[in-house]
Structure 1
Amino acid sequence: MTKPSPLPRPKDGPAPIRLRPDLPTRAGFDSDHPLACGLVGREGPAIAHLGDLAALLARPATGPVVIDADATGPWLLAMLVALAEAWPGGTGALRGALCNDALDLYRGPAAPSWSSEAALDLAADTLSWSRRALPGLRGARLRVAAPVEGDALRPLVAALHSGLALLAATARRERPQHLRAAATGVEFLMPGNGPGDRAAGALLSQLWRALLVERHGPGFALPEDLVLYPDGRDAPSFVDAAVPGCDALRAALSQRETAEGAAAWLSRPAATMAPPSAPQEIDAGRNAALARWRRERDGNAVQKSLLALREAAKRGINVMGPSVACAKAGVTTGEWAATLGGALPRAAAPAPAPAPVTAPPPRGERMAACARLDAAMRGLSRPMTMLLVRPGLDARPWSGHPLLRAAQDCGVSLCDCGARRMPAEIVPLAYRDKPHVLIFGLSNAQSIRMANSTVMELQKAGFGPIPMLGLVAFDAAPPLLGELHESVTLRNIHETTAETFLDDLSHMVVSGNALPRRHPT
């Protein structure tokens, strides 16, 4: 997901508090899970249980609380409610919002294991429940992304699509009167506060109100502050974007495809990531505290609350009440997410991504590179296959990236073994698919370290000298790449052209080995 927008400040009163934990917490993993290694506490606090949240909010919150926890947003809200019951005024005094865009989850690193349909149902549960139990807290804050290259249409369409999908899921689970109450918990946050943002926000508000009536009937009393604007003066905004008309926005919304934007994050400028300092010490300290928490809680209460959560999820009952009971019993973030993951329909396994049959023929330099690759593949006994592996916790999609699509357009098959793979899991997958080239999707420092471990596992298993190419999707410091640089050809995915990538594949097929080692430029 993109970096969160600045928070809107209330005219009077204290500034809002943002609860944005680290990536393992947002993805539903405890700090002692192998996939959390090196990421604990990096992008925010690790919040594994109610005790962690109580330590963060040592005093009752006097201002709005904004929960920005991706897949575990409902769980953070449940823990906040359990904690706030002991505050003056109780949960009725809670104010704030939950950033709860169920569709945007699957474009970010913290995508859950359950399906997008289940994520929408969970978001609908949270929205409906929060409206009944927490009148001062909005259950669905949907961020409008800043326009890219002046395209104001796409971010507005994406926000509308997410909101409409959420209310459609709510309508399937609630009566009409409850749906109308739930709709008052939806709000949109624009990226900036300039005239362009105001004009775009007014258009979004107008169309949102009209679409609710068209799709769900009259009777929606939406709040005046349906669209919010942040204070950040330096935030990206609609300042240089031409705001589309209502008809254009309607047409784009009806044509939006569900797979749109799957690989958009890979084409954006990458953030710099320095090598982490002593991750073992941080993780070890957290793991010891987490083990102590598990020892000291009531195990029977934990098991009973998790069983109730599982049954609610399987039977389609609102899971927020059982989630609050889990928080009070001492359930951890990983246990909550694993229970839901086992009860809800799982996300579909990545299927082979064939090249589009309607793909236009390559031209110019692309045609020449494709011809060279075609010539290199003629000596193969079977169609050339790439195996895409994504070691580590980051679950952002890769298979739709233009570089991989370019290879598919030239007749190369792509196998995606799925996200969140440990090194030991990749070896049998490589034996199964027998790829001609192994492609590493490298999204952060953790994936670099796990790619090193994967190479070692392949060597231990006696795997042959398979060509390996690493696509680096972040601005990695050279020392971080040093060890991997010795065994894997590395390319910066933002600066590598399709022609260069195709020539890399041609060389690997012809030589049967990796390219000369060099750092990505």
Structure 2
Amino acid sequence: MRTYAGHSTARESNALYRGNLEKGQTGLSVAFDLPTQTGYDPDHELAYGEVGKVGVSIAHKGDMHTLMDGIPLDRMNTSMTINATAAWLLALYLTVAEENGIDHGLLEGTTQNDIIKEFLSRGTYAFPPGPSMRLIADTIAYTIDEVPKWNPINICSYHLQEAGATPTQEIAYSLATAEAVLDEVRARVSDETFPRVFGRISFFVNAGIRFIEEHAKLRALGELWEEIGRERYGVEDPKYLRLRYGVQVNSLGLTEAQPENNVIRIVLEALAVTLGRDARARAIQLPAWNEALGLPRPWDQQWSLRIQQILAYETDLLEYPDVFEGSRVVEALVEELAGSARAEMAVVTEHGGAVDAVDYMKTQLVESHRARVAAIEAGELKVVGQNVFTTAEPSPLQGGEDGGVMTVDPAVEHGSVDAVREWRARRDHEAVEVALERLAGAARDESQNMMPATLEAAAAGATTGEWAATLRDVFGEYRAPTGVAGAAAAPEGEALAALRERVDRVSEALGRRIKILVGKPGLDGHSNGAEQIAVRARDAGMEVLYEGIRLTPQRIAQAAVQEGVHVVGLSILSGSHGELIPTVLSELSEAGADVPVVVGGIIPPADERALLAAGVDRVYTPKDFDISRIMGDVVDLVAEHHDVTAEAALTAPPSA
């Protein structure tokens, strides 16, 4: 039983973890901030506004010592949601254990370490696909003997569903990823060792609100995993063939509107992964009811933990054999999902496997997510409190000065910047330089495993940013595909046709197409919303400039001027809007870009008011689900800004 937790500094997160363990939590699930996840130190330009926001900042082994202070690592199961820098964070964890006299053979836990889903959905990648896969394979090959109880990778279907994947896509793309990883590792271990490698592969899955379908999905995933083990890799030991998975139930379906309803959603989704014994999750972490509003408080996380404890200790869920065994409905659905997943995996194979098929899979996810959004807009997919039964009493859970969420003090970032600079000043510089040079040498030599050099750098006192910068120098930079350009045109409908007509009229009045820049400043990689805005703008007839994630405010302003855009749309879900949006506004002003600015993200009401006062023209949050209405607002803003409001009206202009 876990809660996904971590914020601000290592010291504050350590206090949170120890408190959660005292409340009955049986493992840790560490959330890292975006600079840590993407390989930047707190004082890097791209880290501005992001330090300590969505997780804890870990810049070096000293931070990891503080994070795990007083926690018995030899008796703890620690899950780390970390991908591009997974090898590094694992090295820091191993170093801390060793410096505390704990044998690596006793350590249990998981590093997520699934980079393909980062290219597809979450955006916290650091290196190109090839070197990233090599780094994953090196980590697995190292841990299989040196840290034998550790799960070196957690193949994540969870984030695929968050990005819009259907159950078929979720199964197919996660299993295709697993095959790509196993194929990469196979050359690094002996034939005798490989079955153990297969047995250490674990999965991190999503459980959505469609209870029966979600349960059947997990049974289908288990059947296909065993099939792959036997037929593709020749694994025979039943212990190694068993699907080992943990779960966090769906966050995509949590709503800002009537957020108290999210508790019911979370419980139902937890049942899907616990009710049937033969497909039961090994570990569960539940989101907090208020994740669509902002960062959960300790009390909110306690509520999620208590849900798990009540299910485990008060109900009879765990007392009976599999209650779905023999169900013709479930068996038929499992067969259907397994068949469609095999077919989709074959398509991925035709594209060259998961690594080469990233473009294809990304486009498919963008299209699937668009279909989901369109169904909500049309009322075909009903979401209680959002598009049906919207009349409600105010929620008492959102009362108080904090609005029902935690806010990270901006002083945390300043303190982290000072701390990492102090760390660099007092360490053994020569030892760090030697270790980083050895790391670079190992990276250049594909016959070497990079984990020993990574461990040496961690022990010497290198920082997260230095480790990643060393590998970036060898491997180069990378920008993942957005999926926007390849997405098929949207089906025709009245709302889209009316919107396109308005775009045409205003564009004619302007003398050229309305041009929108969709930008994601900072390190937030959750691009689903930005992609849907970009696709809808394109389908409505606008010219769209969307470069993807990880843009500096300066780059956004320069692009706005150079491309002559009429409006700028910014998306931030990491909580860094208070720092980054005013900076973008300032950069736009200095660059001479006189354009309206709209912002979307998880933005509390008080912050929304502050952004509007700072000069933002519109703010949209998760409750604003109707993208056609949002795009209509954008057309109106452009028309008002250029004094052509008559052309933006829904009724046709009078004939001459």
Which residue among 535, 556, 563 is the counterpart of 1:405?
535
Q: Once the 2 structures are TM-superposed, how far is the Cα of residue 53 of structure 1 from its aligned partner?
A: 1.1
Which residue among 584, 595, 598 is the counterpart of 1:466?
595
Q: Once the 2 structures are TM-superposed, how far is the Cα of residue 398 of structure 1 from its aligned partner?
A: 4.9
Q: Is the 8 A contact 2:518 2:570 kept in 1?
A: yes
The answer as to 2:440 corresponding to 1:314 is: no
Greater displacement, 107-116 / 382-391: 107-116
Shift in CA distance, 498/153, structure 1 to aligned 2, threshold 3 Å: same
Which residue among 415, 419, 432 is the counterpart of 1:302?
432
Q: Once the 2 structures are TM-superposed, how far is the Cα of residue 228 of structure 1 from its aligned partner?
A: 3.8
Distance (Å, rounded) in 1 between the aligned partners of 2:268 and 2:516: 40
**Equivalent AA in structure 1 for residue 119 of structure 2:** Y
Q: Once the 2 structures are TM-superposed, how far is the Cα of residue 50 of structure 1 from its aligned partner?
A: 0.8
**Equivalent AA in structure 2 for residue 347 of structure 1:** Y
Distance (Å, rounded) in 2 between the aligned partners of 1:235 and 1:125: 39
Which residue among 531, 540, 544 is the counterpart of 1:414?
544
CA deviation vs aligned residue, 1:374-409 (integer Å, no higher than 9, x gap): 122124444442222211221233587333212212
Output the TM-score relative to the length of structure 1: 0.83
Shift in CA distance, 466/122, structure 1 to aligned 2, threshold 3 Å: same
Which residue among 489, 494, 497 is the counterpart of 2:626?
497
Greater displacement, 486-495 / 267-276: 267-276
Match of 2:365 in 1: 261
Coordinate RMSD, CA, aligned: 3.9
Distance (Å, rounded) in 2 between the aligned partners of 1:296 and 1:191: 44
Which residue among 114, 118, 139 is the counterpart of 1:101?
114
Q: Once the 2 structures are TM-superposed, how far is the Cα of residue 432 of structure 1 from its aligned partner?
A: 2.0
Q: Is the 8 A contact 1:445 1:480 kept in 2?
A: no
Match of 2:316 in 1: none
The answer as to 2:560 corresponding to 1:430 is: yes
Match of 1:182 in 2: 197
The answer as to 2:357 corresponding to 1:342 is: no
Shift in CA distance, 448/118, structure 1 to aligned 2, threshold 3 Å: farther
Q: Is the 8 A contact 1:392 1:447 kept in 2?
A: no
Which residue among 6, 16, 29 is the counterpart of 1:18?
29
SS of equivalent residue, structure 2 residue 272: coil
Q: Once the 2 structures are TM-superposed, how far is the Cα of residue 360 of structure 1 from its aligned partner?
A: 5.2
Distance (Å, rounded) in 2 between the aligned partners of 1:155 and 1:71: 21
Q: Once the 2 structures are TM-superposed, how far is the Cα of residue 309 of structure 1 from its aligned partner?
A: 1.5
Match of 2:226 in 1: 209
Q: Once the 2 structures are TM-superposed, how far is the Cα of residue 200 of structure 1 from its aligned partner?
A: 4.5
Q: Is the 8 A contact 1:184 1:222 kept in 2?
A: yes
Distance (Å, rounded) in 2 between the aligned partners of 1:458 and 1:42: 25
Q: How many residues align?
A: 502
SS of equivalent residue, structure 2 residue 232: helix
Q: Is the 8 A contact 1:391 1:450 kept in 2?
A: yes
Match of 1:236 in 2: 269
SS of equivalent residue, structure 1 residue 97: strand
Match of 2:526 in 1: 396
Shift in CA distance, 465/89, structure 1 to aligned 2, threshold 3 Å: closer
CA deviation vs aligned residue, 1:337-358 (integer Å, no higher than 9, x gap): 22222222432366895475x5
Structure 2 gap segments, 5+ residues each: 6-23, 250-265, 274-328, 349-359, 377-382, 387-397, 646-656
SS of equivalent residue, structure 1 residue 113: coil
Match of 1:449 in 2: 579
Distance (Å, rounded) in 2 between the aligned partners of 1:191 and 1:390: 25
SS of equivalent residue, structure 2 residue 267: coil
CA deviation vs aligned residue, 1:229-251 (integer Å, no higher than 9, x gap): 56999372473996431323312
Give identity over the alignment, percent.
23
Q: Once the 2 structures are TM-superposed, how far is the Cα of residue 295 of structure 1 from its aligned partner?
A: 1.1
SS of equivalent residue, structure 1 residue 81: helix
Match of 2:58 in 1: 47
The answer as to 2:490 corresponding to 1:479 is: no
**Equivalent AA in structure 1 for residue 412 of structure 2:** I
Shift in CA distance, 407/195, structure 1 to aligned 2, threshold 3 Å: closer
The answer as to 2:298 corresponding to 1:168 is: no
Higher helix fraction (1 or 2): 2
Match of 2:616 in 1: 488
Distance (Å, rounded) in 1 between the aligned partners of 2:605 and 2:49: 18
Distance (Å, rounded) in 1 between the aligned partners of 2:507 and 2:414: 48
Q: Is the 8 A contact 1:17 1:65 kept in 2?
A: yes
Which residue among 60, 67, 79 is the counterpart of 1:56?
67
Q: Once the 2 structures are TM-superposed, how far is the Cα of residue 332 of structure 1 from its aligned partner?
A: 0.8
Q: Is the 8 A contact 2:502 2:635 kept in 1?
A: yes
SS of equivalent residue, structure 1 residue 378: helix
Which residue among 114, 122, 128 is the counterpart of 1:115?
128
Q: Once the 2 structures are TM-superposed, how far is the Cα of residue 367 of structure 1 from its aligned partner?
A: 0.8
The answer as to 2:418 corresponding to 1:288 is: yes
CA deviation vs aligned residue, 1:114-135 (integer Å, no higher than 9, x gap): 2233322221221111113111
**Equivalent AA in structure 1 for residue 465 of structure 2:** G
SS of equivalent residue, structure 2 residue 153: strand
Distance (Å, rounded) in 2 between the aligned partners of 1:311 and 1:168: 24
Q: Once the 2 structures are TM-superposed, how far is the Cα of residue 483 of structure 1 from its aligned partner?
A: 3.6
Q: Once the 2 structures are TM-superposed, how far is the Cα of residue 31 of structure 1 from its aligned partner?
A: 2.2
Shift in CA distance, 369/355, structure 1 to aligned 2, threshold 3 Å: farther
Shift in CA distance, 168/456, structure 1 to aligned 2, threshold 3 Å: same
Match of 1:134 in 2: 147
Q: Is the 8 A contact 2:499 2:632 kept in 1?
A: yes
Match of 1:10 in 2: none
CA deviation vs aligned residue, 1:266-286 (integer Å, no higher than 9, x gap): 96999998573531x222322
Distance (Å, rounded) in 1 between the aligned partners of 2:643 and 2:445: 51
Output the TM-score relative to the length of structure 2: 0.67
Distance (Å, rounded) in 2 between the aligned partners of 1:183 and 1:74: 19
Q: Once the 2 structures are TM-superposed, how far is the Cα of residue 459 of structure 1 from its aligned partner?
A: 1.6
Q: Is the 8 A contact 2:226 2:243 kept in 1?
A: no
Match of 1:9 in 2: none
Shift in CA distance, 432/230, structure 1 to aligned 2, threshold 3 Å: closer
Shift in CA distance, 121/399, structure 1 to aligned 2, threshold 3 Å: farther
Q: Is the 8 A contact 1:437 1:468 kept in 2?
A: yes
Match of 1:73 in 2: 86
Q: Once the 2 structures are TM-superposed, how far is the Cα of residue 40 of structure 1 from its aligned partner?
A: 2.9
Q: Is the 8 A contact 1:275 1:477 kept in 2?
A: no
Structure 1 gap segments, 5+ residues each: 6-12, 517-521
Q: Is the 8 A contact 1:190 1:197 kept in 2?
A: no
CA deviation vs aligned residue, 1:312-352 (integer Å, no higher than 9, x gap): 22333321111101101101111112222222243236689
Q: Is the 8 A contact 1:448 1:481 kept in 2?
A: no
Q: Once the 2 structures are TM-superposed, how far is the Cα of residue 136 of structure 1 from its aligned partner?
A: 1.5
SS of equivalent residue, structure 1 residue 65: strand
**Equivalent AA in structure 1 for residue 456 of structure 2:** A
**Equivalent AA in structure 2 for residue 248 of structure 1:** S
